[in-house]
Amino acid sequence: MQQFRVKGLTCANCTLELEQQIQKLEHGQDATLSYNSGKLTLQGKVSLEKVAKILSSEGAYIEQTRESHAHDHGHDHSHDNHGHSHAHENHHSSHEEDDHSHSHGGSQKWLIGSAVIFVAAWLLRNELAEYIIITIYIAVMIVSGYRTWIKGLKNLLHFRFNIDTLMTIALAGAVGIGQWEEAALVALLFGLNELLEGMGMDKARRSMRDLLEVAPKEAMILKGNTEALIPIGSLVIGDTVIVRPGEKIPSDGTVLEGRGSVNEAVISGESLPVDKFSGEPVFGGSLNNEGVLKITITKAYKDSSLARILHLVEEAQETKTPTQLFINRFAFYYTPIIMAIALLTVIVPPLLFESSWVSSLYQGLAVLIVGCPCALILASPIAIVAGITRNARNGILIKGGVFLEQLGKINTIAFDKTGTLTVGVPTVEQVIAYDEKQLYSITAALERNSSHPLALAIMKRIESEAIERLDANDVKALPGMGVTATIQDLPYWIGNEKSIQHILLSEKVQNDIKQMKQKAFTIVLVVDATAVLGIFGITDPIREESRSVIAKLHRLGIRETVMLTGDHSIIADKVAKIIGIKQVYANLLPEQKVEQVKKLAQKGHVAMIGDGINDAPALATAQLGIAMGKGTDSAMETADIILLQDHLGKLPEAITIAKSVNRLIKINISIALGLKIIALLLTIPGLLTLWIAILSDMGATVLVSLLSLTLLIQRKSHKTDNTSR
């Protein structure tokens, strides 16, 4: 697979037509050309010479080449020094932005000059000789529309009919019937329309490029006592780097020495600092606010969380939503239909109603101008890019426009419990000690060397107690039950109720166990050969934002919130009741979660939210899979959307943005079609003029672009929300 950066794409409809022409080339059937990102992707050995010729017909050209390979997680490995290549690309992007700016600046000057000349000629039309006025109008047409003329004439030679062809015919026809003034005005307004259309998309692309340019370019590597500045692409696993205050962490790693406050907004979308010290993980691209950190690199930059996130955000621009595909299909038939209407407008009135041929020809030319589908095709891409960018700023990674569109349509959300609605870290909530002197010492001896989550929770709870140091011998794991060992020549057990079947429980112990179960605690008992020494009641704390998030989701129109968990029904029901979940399915195996998701999908649009590891089958089955985690590999691979904050706090905002995108696209389509329908209806009383026709398209383009760009506006709340910790 080869990818190329293409410059000079100023029109969404023209880009679509260029893509279709390239697809007709030998081996070009899978080629894609994205107006959103300005990228051309070729899957086969397509003739680059022929591709360049097609692009040049619209004033576009290939600027940069980079090769990618399938099954490579989307990473670009065309250079040995990946980081250097990426840095170069970022650097190049800034030049590209400057080039666009200069290009627009030059176009603006020419258009402003043309506008001034046109206004002057119009004001002096009764003072100057007619041939002078006509000469000025011709000059305005040439300056404002020479590119359109050239492309339109080329298209006519090849019998291709797009907006440039239609405009060329319309302008030539207007000149032919002596409408010099209107022809000049139409050329001027069309030039302004193309400029505004290009500027609107450039603004969306620029916001995306700004997001993509957060990657650090260099790293300060430490070898012995020597420091050296190297490109991040030269880093390898095991390297030690120094990151001083104000510098970016070059790649994922672990703090070796030092302590600092790190801003991880580039990963999570949250700017609250996170304290880092020895042994703590850090992410590439994060900003070290204070303190000097010595970091051991654990991932080469190309495999780092940031590199993968940036790649996925960039690739997200390429996908076309069902709405975009529908609009593209509609536009394919729209222009021929308009041309047929224009022809009927010219022929029917003179033949049936004895109207003037010149007047009918004028109306037909105006209808041709109405035929420009640019505003219609622009209805979706700017809004999609803006929505993906806005969510990425918030640390919500959406892998494509199609998933953004789906997110705005979901009405059912299924949640995993552990690690999603709850913290996922067991905590001891209650301890009942029947033999306090022995309980903690025996427990510590049994659990000291265990890495089981429940053992870690118990050890954390008793670490502050005065514990006699005892040694456990003959330690044996009891699968599904617990652990047994010999301590001071006596046998002891720690585990669930199955591990204590050798003793008879007193009525008090039975009541205590029953009460703990009613509290939805996981029970861990410590016993000797004859009696229970104590009980630990363990729970997985509910995330502090879960209740408010569920409430917000219901207010946003999410009809059903469902919990799918492998945990005990008593625990699941308690959590659901506290946070407001409506339906609970407990004691589920992974395959049973998949079945439940399928059943839910029969009733509505379903999203499944989990941690991207044990919920992978359910995430893949749902119409929309949403995973939590700061760029973890499993989440990246499995989910369609990733909450990089590792909590649910910003999920409601993501859905709000997605709904706004869908709503704006519908509004944009209505505006684009509505203004054109109004213009076409004006042909009935003969009121449609050339400048009204071009203004209908220009007005639609301006409104569509401005409305879509409002999605990039991020309002800052003055209230502290505990959901965005």
Last residue of a domain, one of 620, 646, 672: 646
Q: Dig out the tokens for 273 from the structure.
A: 């600092």
pTM of the predicted model as reported, rounded to 2 decimal places: 0.71
* Claim to verify: residue 534 and residue 432 sit in the same structural domain: yes
pLDDT band at 98 (very low <50, low <70, confident <90, very high): very low
CA dihedral over 421, 426, 431, 433, signed as positive or negative:
positive
Alpha-carbon distance 650 to 645, whole Å? 8
Longest Cα–Cα distance in the chain: 120
Q: pLDDT at position 320, please?
A: 66
Dihedral sign of CA atoms 670, 676, 681, 685 in order: positive
Name the helix (H) or strand (E) containing 495: strand 490-495
Domain finish residue from 622, 646, 670: 646
- Other Cβ atoms less than 10 A from the Cβ of 354: the count is 7
Burial pattern 573-593, b for ≥16 Cβ within 10 A else e, equals ebbbeebebeebbbebeeeeb
- 33 CB-near residues (< 8 Å, 6+ apart): 6, 9, 15, 18, 19, 22, 39, 40, 41
Going by pLDDT thresholds of 50, 70 and 90, the confidence category of residue 2 is confident
Q: Which of 141-155, 302-316, 708-722 has the lowest mean pLDDT?
A: 708-722
Residues 591 and 527 in one domain: no
Q: Which residue has the tokens 């909530």?
A: 429
* Residue 549 falls inside a structural domain: yes
Q: Alpha carbon 310 to chain centroid distance?
A: 10
Residues spanned by the domain of 273: 218-303
Residues 586, 639: one domain?
A: yes
> Is residue 522 pLDDT above 90, yes or no?
no
Give yes or no for residue 352 having a pLDDT over 90.
no
142 domain residue, yes or no = no
Give per-residue pLDDT as tens, 10-46.
666 677 778 888 888 888 888 888 776 777 888 778 8
Q: What pLDDT shows up at residue 643?
A: 86
Name the nearest CA neighbour of 588 among 605, 606, 577, 600: 600
- Coil, strand or helix at 31: coil
Catalytic residues, by residue number, are 416
* Pairing mode of beta strands 274-276, 412-416: unpaired
Instruction: With respect to residue 519, please indicate whether it lies within any of the assigned structural domains.
Output: yes
Does 21 reside within a domain? yes
The answer to the question of residue 45 being in a domain is yes
> DSSP of 346-396, one letter per residue?
HHHHHHHH---HHHHHHHHHHHHHHT--HHHHTTTHHHHHHHHHHHHHTTE
What's the CA gap between 457 and 451, in Å, rounded?
A: 10
For the cut 80, the answer to whether the pLDDT of residue 545 exceeds it is yes
Q: With contact defined as beta carbons under 8 Å apart, do 534 and 512 qualify? A: no
- Answer whether residue 182 shows pLDDT above 80: no
**Domain match, 431 and 418 both:** no
Cα–Cα distances in angstroms (integers) from residue 55 to residues 7, 93, 415, in the given order: 9, 20, 48
637 occurs within a structural domain: yes
pLDDT top residue among 724 and 521: 521
Give the domain CATH number at 509. Answer: 3.40.1110.10
> What does the pLDDT look like over 465-505, one tens digit per residue?
778 889 999 988 887 788 999 999 999 999 888 878 888 88
Residue 627 has φ and ψ, to the nearest 5°, of: -115, 155
Give domain status of residue 360, yes or no: no
Residue 65 has pLDDT above 70, yes or no: no
Contact criterion met (CB below 8 Å) for 55 and 63: no
Q: Is 678 helix (H, G, I), strand (E, B) or coil?
A: helix
Q: DSSP code of 716?
A: P
| Higher-confidence position of 520 and 240 | 240
- Indicate if 506 and 457 belong to the same structural domain: yes
Task: Among 228-237, 313-322, 369-378, name the one with the lowest average pLDDT.
Answer: 313-322
* Whether residues 404 and 497 fall in one domain: no
523 and 617 co-located in one domain: no
pLDDT at 580: 93
Tens of pLDDT, residue by residue over 254-281, are 999 898 888 886 676 665 678 888 888 8
As a residue count, the chain comes to 725
DSSP string, 611-676: -SSTTHHHHHHSSEEEEESSS-HHHHHH-SEEETTSSSTTHHHHHHHHHHHHHHHHHHHHHHHHHH
Does residue 129 carry a pLDDT above 70?
yes
CATH of the domain at 622: 3.40.50.1000
Q: 198 or 502, which is more confident?
A: 502
Same domain, 581 and 601: yes
Who wins on pLDDT, 526 or 701? Answer: 526
How crowded is the C-beta side of 264, counted as CA atoms within 13 Å? 21
Q: How many CB atoms lie within 10 A of CB 63?
A: 15
Kindly state whether residues 285 and 419 are assigned to the same domain. no
How many other CB atoms are found less than 10 A from the CB of residue 127? Answer: 8
Residue 465 and residue 432 share a domain: yes
Angle between helix axes 651-681 and 357-370 (nearest 10 degrees) is 170
Average predicted confidence (pLDDT) for the chain: 79
> What secondary structure letter does DSSP report for 546?
H
- For 606, the enclosing helix (H) or strand (E) is strand 606-610
Q: How do beta strands 624-628 and 641-643 pair?
A: parallel
Q: In this structure, are residues 98 and 63 in contact, taking their beta carbons and an 8 Å threshold? A: no
In a domain? residue 156: no
Cβ neighbours, 10 Å, residue 556: 15
> How many CB atoms neighbour CB 721 within 10 A?
12
The pLDDT of residue 644 is 80
pLDDT band at 122 (very low <50, low <70, confident <90, very high): confident
Query: Final residue of a domain: which of 277, 303, 329?
Result: 303
Residues in Cβ contact with 157 at an 8 Å cutoff, skipping those fewer than 6 apart: none
More confident residue, 68 or 228: 228
pLDDT on residue 92? 40
What CATH number did the domain enclosing 237 receive? 2.70.150.10
Q: How many domains is the chain built from?
A: 4
Residue 712 carries which DSSP code? G
Whether 442 and 535 map to the same domain: the answer is yes
Alpha carbons 639 and 112: distance in angstroms, whole number: 49
- pLDDT for the residue numbered 440: 92
- Backbone φ/ψ region at 296: left (φ over 0), alpha (ψ -120 to 50), beta: beta
pLDDT digits (tens, 9 = 90+) for 418-453: 888 988 788 999 999 998 888 999 999 999 888 888
Q: How far is CA 517 from the centre of its chain?
A: 43
How distant is the alpha carbon of residue 450 from its chain centre?
A: 41
Rounded mean pLDDT, 157-179: 75
Same domain, 571 and 502: no
